[in-house]
Amino acid sequence: MKTTDQVALDDWYAIATASELTSRTVRTRLLGQDIEYMLSEGGSPLVREILDDGRHGPALPVKERYGCLFTSLGTPRKDIVHIEEAEEEDRRFVPCGWVTMRASGLRVVENFLDMAHFPFVHTDILGSEPHTEVPGYQSEIRRDVDEVWATNCTFFQPRIAATEDKGDFVHLTYRVPSPFVVMLYRVCPTSPNRLDAIALFIQPMEEGLCRAQPVMYLVDQTSTHKSLLNFEQVIFLQDRIIVENQRPLLLPLEPRAEIPTRADSSSIAYRRWLKEKGIRFGTTAGGY
Ligand SMILES: [Fe+2]
């Protein structure tokens, strides 16, 4: 059943890897609604709702961006996030593949923002004991662009990217341009004046079920495609265990539902921003 959450409906969502589309119909779900997508006879992507009686609804809006097919069940108020780095021709474009998680997509975003779990979940990759402290950083809701940013983030990592095998403090910036999209900018170890850009596009299928695809724009001419994919997939499968075991399953937006620490300031800003928007799908308030 399609959500009644108009805020969630009026947004763009990545639902497929564009290069994988064929004339064969693929069925999936978005915000509780069954949909299908395919390449039409003219070769352009077609996405439609599947109505309760099995008939097709009218064609939904589609856009191809960042290697993904995006659609919307409503009337988006904002365009899909603009990623400047995607336009730089010397970057490696690495779509990492979809991972399905029995979790709220909002929980997946919040986990992506969280540095405190690095030493415990991504042990000896993105963090290691005894370097467990999250140094102070700034979080803000940027009103002019309606995004959440966390800046000046640093964290000790034993192996900060696929190209590196020794530890150092990484410098990170997080950006949340829409409720189900989150980005990470990382000072590039092989080119310190540039930033690697990693976007995580989430397809919220049901309130407690989503698919997510990390898409990377890297300044890295040395790693093999396979090693980049392996690195990201190991990280992501570790995260899946964590987000699938969080309780409550859906994200609480009430300020006192979970006790925050200083390291959680990005999560606090994210939840405040979601609450201001009035989003309900994937929260404990419920999307129906
Ligand atoms: Fe993680």
Per-residue pLDDT tens digits for 173-227: 999 999 999 999 999 877 889 999 999 999 999 999 999 999 999 998 888 999 9
- State the Cα–Cα distance between residues 108 and 110, nearest whole angstrom: 5
pLDDT (0 to 100) of residue 159: 76
Strand partners, 168: 157
Instruction: Calculate how far, in angstroms, residue 236's C-alpha sits from the geometric centre of ligand 1.
Output: 7
**Number of neighbours of residue 1 by Cβ within 10 angstroms:** 11
- The H or E element containing residue 228 is helix 225-244
Distance of CA 207 to the CA centre of its chain: 15
Using DSSP, how many helices (H) and how many strands (E) does the chain show?
Answer: 5, 15
Ligand 1 midpoint to CA 184 (Å): 12
Q: What is the pLDDT of residues 215-242, one digit of tens each?
A: 999 998 888 999 999 999 999 999 999 9
Cα–Cα distance, 15 to 141 (Å, whole number) = 27
Q: Distance from the CA of 231 to the center of ligand 1, in angstroms?
A: 12
pTM beyond 0.85: yes
CA of 100 relative to ligand 1 center, distance in Å = 15
How far does the centroid of ligand 1 lie from the alpha carbon of residue 121, in Å? Answer: 7
CA 167, CA 127: separation in Å to the nearest integer? 9
Q: How far apart (Å, rounded) are the C-alpha atoms in residues 11 and 204?
A: 11
Low-confidence ranges of the chain (pLDDT < 70): 160-162, 256-258
**Burial class of residue 54 (count of CB atoms within 10 Å of its CB; 0-12, 13-18, 19+):** exposed
pLDDT (0 to 100) of residue 107 = 97
Residue 245 and residue 250: Cα distance in Å, rounded?
Answer: 11
At 42, list the tokens.
């003219």
pLDDT of residue 267: 95
Q: What would the two tokens of residue 52 be?
A: 């309760």
Distance of CA 283 to the CA centre of its chain: 16
Q: Report the pLDDT value the prediction gives residue 191, as an integer from 0 to 100.
A: 85
Residue 234 has phi, psi (to 5 degrees) of -60, -45
